[in-house]
Structure 1
Amino acid sequence: MPLTLDRREGPYGEVVLRQRDDHFEIIANGTFLMDTSDGRSERLLVDAALQALGGPRTGGAADARSAGTRQDAHRPSVLIGGLGVGFSLAHAAADPAWGRIAVVEREQAIIDWHREGPLAALSARALADPRTALIHADLVAYVHAPDIPDTYDALCLDIDNGPDWTVTEGNDGLYSPSGLAACARRLNPGGVLAVWSARPSADFEESLRNAGFSGVRTEEIPVARGVPDVVHLGIRPA
């Protein structure tokens, strides 16, 4: 049986941190979000975006050293939403191919678990990296905010179980035509939108094309049982 370590009521509902054997898991409003048992799909989310930008698919120290020879001005920036258990952030920060790294997280509880709780073991080094900025905000509001001028070369989004399976009703707006248009405005020309999903969505692929993204494709991540996890990818035309 899992052990509940913390339970919080926030503006978006209940969020729970549980421990199951040696792993931690996050539950939001009764819906399982993610755990620390694997992390392959969260890492692929970041690697697929870098590859789509024309960079290498990172695979070890040799790749990292090669990428690290790039000048800072030419290293792409990435926005990660949200923080989750920290796999995507830690993977991006471990790769010198990335320049500026921003991570947006709306749940104060999750931020606390990383700052001073059990998840710090996964993310402390990444959060201390000078390239990293942690932004406490709702991702949907952040991408729409007209007073925030920041743009990025890649958006790596993992705030739901997918475009068709959102954690809260308000997140639907991120995958709507207006939400995808807002994501495109957050991207520099030629930038990549990467969206994690627990299952493929042909409808979302069509939504990306209708929103003007090019090179739309889906990468699959095999899982132990059931349909594969996927990363949906689209490029903002230059």
Structure 2
Amino acid sequence: MPLYLTQTHNVRLGPTTWCATAHVHALANKHINKPPYLSRYALNLPMDDTQQWQYCRASADISEPDRAQQQRQLQRQGVRLLLQQLLTKLQIDDTLDESAFPYQLARSKYYVCFSHTGAKNTDDTDNSSTQPTSCLDNQVAVILSQHRPAGIDIEANEVAWQVVRRFYADKEKAVLQRLPAWQRDAIAKQLWQIKESYIKVYQYTLAQGLGIDYAYLIEDLIDSVIDGHHLMTVMDKKTGYRIAIIPRQHIVLVF
């Protein structure tokens, strides 16, 4: 699937820890036999090797299962393209080893963790348009850490309170209920992202990871909700990990 990245941001979290975020897009072109010029995911392939190109059909022309498959393919390729670009920027010549979790680079043994969030398929042109249409659009992110596994999670949507009641620890729920609604919703989402990130770090099962009590972090998380714009880090004294929150990009990292 031909795709390209926009709004790419790289952040150095520590001496040997980096994260990168971007939006990944695949293009559809209706009513045109020849495809528009597109960036390639397989950057090492010659640009005239069009036999390996696949073109994203307009959302109106594909079924829901096909659209979901395209979404998964876009996400999978998008995070790997972002990793490739980050490694190039850092001048690290290495490849991703996907044989076991957590992922690592094959030679340097850097730990790698991905996250992405899906967006609705969109068609910004009418049926008579001959302009390319963006049919898939996702935010993707990667964290790269040399000394230990790291986790990352993107979550743009709020966490429903019924989900909090079902999965969160009793102390977490008790503390959240005492907060104003705007703080409660924001911190409930951050706690979810912290849980998801630690699941990736420690390879917990979903049930194990969601059930762990992080109520002791809530007081520190309130500051990030009040700020709402800048990267903020919190020290998790129980695990020895640092937690970074990037509110504008809906990202939480554990490293």
Work out whether the TM-score is over 0.5. no
Larger Rg: 2
Structure showing the higher strand proportion among its residues: 1
